[in-house]
Amino acid sequence: MSKYVKELMCAELERDLGETTSALILDLKGLDAISEHKLRKDLRQKDIKIRVVRNNLARLVFEKKGMSGLDPFLTGPSVLVWGGSGIAELAKEISDQVKALKKPVIKGGCVDGVAVGPDMVESLTKLPSRETLIAQVLALLMSPTRQVLAQLNAPISGVMSQVKTLAERESGDTPSDQG
């Protein structure tokens, strides 16, 4: 392969990856054509991109993008998977597909530029989704406000209950007066 073709292939992979610094590397060896087509179709529906890569060219692109440390995973046939709504969802989807198909192997990956092994990818599947994390952060941010409002309402509700009790006594509606 000529140097020019290699440069074109590297540029295309770099363009396809865009700004992403999180991806997984798989080995689809032993997967039949029908299963691979189904896998690609399922991933495409979830906006996850999949691409077979040449290990040497992938190393060059990963170095440029700051995704170093993936060299140990770039042996044999390698398939790069990236995209989706976040690395947790990507890891969950790939893990589910691997369990269902039984043939593919997760070699490792990169999370925000840091290389992770297959065991760490499995632990990523246990993380909550991006939306859930945002909701949890917002709930934590709003918690002090709720506490302040509850404290402000507490004296008011105490005064209101005392006023109600006094009003009932004045009108003679208390249960002790009716006995």
Residue partners of 69: CB distance under 8 A and separation at least 6: 110, 114, 115
On average, the pLDDT of the chain sits at: 84
Closest by CA to 40, choosing from 78, 97, 87, 103, is: 97
Res 50: pLDDT: 92
CATH topology of domain 3-127: Alpha-Beta Plaits (3.30.70)
Q: Please state the φ and ψ torsions of residue 80, each to the nearest 5 degrees.
A: -95, 135
Torsion of CA 134, 140, 144, 150, to 10 degrees: 90
Helices 3-17/55-65 angle, 10° precision: 50
Q: What is the pTM of this model?
A: 0.68
Cα(112)–Cα(145) distance, integer angstroms: 33
To which residue do tokens 């949890």 refer? Answer: 136
Residue 12 has pLDDT above 90, yes or no: yes
Confidence bin at 115 (pLDDT 50/70/90):
confident
